[in-house]
Amino acid sequence: MTQPTKPQLDAACQTLALLVAPVRLHLLWLATVGEHDVGTLAERAGVSITTASQHLAKLRLAGLITASREGRRQIYSVDDPHVLVLIEQIIDHIAPDGTVAPDAPKHPRGGGPRSVMVPS
């Protein structure tokens, strides 16, 4: 595994900074499990359509979420396998009660990240 460059680290920090807002992380998670319009995302995340739209715009600008037009509606989804794995891993890392999940397998130092299957 090669050491990350400063531009990689800076971009990674900017991406992760977007996810510190729980509503943004929730919207992104919802988009990883299916395609939804803004009204559905807002309802499932428990926020107004205006709030959801503002957060979705930021996630789109960062390239974390995509939108496609279906008639007059925008349909949001996540296509990038890196984003799918990132969201899956962080949610799996945290137990439902908010603590770190106790069953995370350890991997030897220097062995790199374990491989994860991403559904196609």
Residues 1-46 have pLDDT tens digits of 899 999 999 999 999 999 999 999 999 999 999 999 999 999 999 9
pLDDT at res. 22: 95
In terms of phi and psi (left: phi > 0; alpha: psi -120 to 50; beta: otherwise), the region of 27 is: alpha
Nearest to 64 by CA among 39, 51, 81: 81
pLDDT at res. 2: 93
Nearest to 81 by CA among 43, 120, 52, 33: 120
Coil, helix or strand at residue 92: helix
Query: Which pairs from 97-106 meet CB under 8 Å and 24+ separation?
Result: none
Supply the DSSP string of 43-81, one letter for each residue: HHHTS-HHHHHHHHHHHHHTTSSEEEEETTEEEEE---H
Asked if residue 113 has pLDDT above 70, the reply is no
Confidence of residue 75 (pLDDT cuts 50, 70, 90): very high
> Which residue is associated with the tokens 């374990």?
114
pLDDT at res. 111: 46
Ordered structural domains, the chain, with CATH: 6-93 (1.10.10.10)
For the whole model, what pTM was predicted? 0.81
* Euclidean distance between CA atoms 28 and 8, whole angstroms: 21
